Amino acid sequence: TFRALLLALIGTGLRVGEAMSLTRADVDLAESLLTVRDSKFYKSRLVPIGPRLTEALRVYAKGRPKPSSSGAQSPFFTRRGGTALTHRIVHWHFCKLRAAAGVRRDDGGRYQPRLHDFRHTFAVRRLVAWYREGADVQRLLPQLSTYLGHVHIGATQRYLTMTPELLNEANRRFERYALSEAYHV
């Protein structure tokens, strides 16, 4: 369960509470689509997912613990006894996994790595991918904002931490632009 939950967080940028709130009806693996209902700001949205995440969730769904309540509204991610996950349990497992993997911050940062950081990583990785694809990143930012469930693009900007990889891709884009302009002078 925890592996499938982490893959969902990494692969979609969902908030932890959104992923934990998914019901069986919200996870449409045939269409590779998640329905996030009444999340932050009481908004609902559709979240398309890629083929690798779809397959990982399909494998989890086949072998997951049977929910204690049956039906479409039972939780998708469940504990061994079939009950819904709690924030406390998920946080505890993440801290144990982080410690076992030796993942920690030693740079004086305020927080150790958190589950919410997967959301930040997802947003930055999406931008890097768009730069590499040659996409119009400025035009696509509102789509990323909608995908993440933000009301305003300013909320998405908080997630876009400048990483060396993102800076490198942005620099390449600017360099191509600047060099092409030099030849037109």
Return the ∠ at Cα 178 (arms to 172 and 181), rounded to 5°.
140
Active site residue 116: yes
Q: What is the CA radius of gyration of the chain?
A: 19
Catalytic residue among 60, 126, 147, 150: 150
Catalytic residue among 60, 64, 119, 147: 119
| Residue ranges with strand state E in the chain | 27-28, 33-36, 45-48
Active site residue 79: no
Active site residue 62: no
Catalytic residue among 24, 40, 58, 93: 40
Catalytic residue among 3, 43, 52, 116: 116
Active site residue 40: yes
For residues 185 and 123, what is the distance between their CA atoms, to the nearest angstrom? 37
DSSP state of 184: T
Active site residue 15: yes
Residues facing residue 75 across a β-bridge: 23
Length of the chain: 185
Residue whose pair of structure tokens reads 């559709």 in the numeric block: 46
| Residues annotated as part of the active site | 15, 40, 116, 119, 150, 159
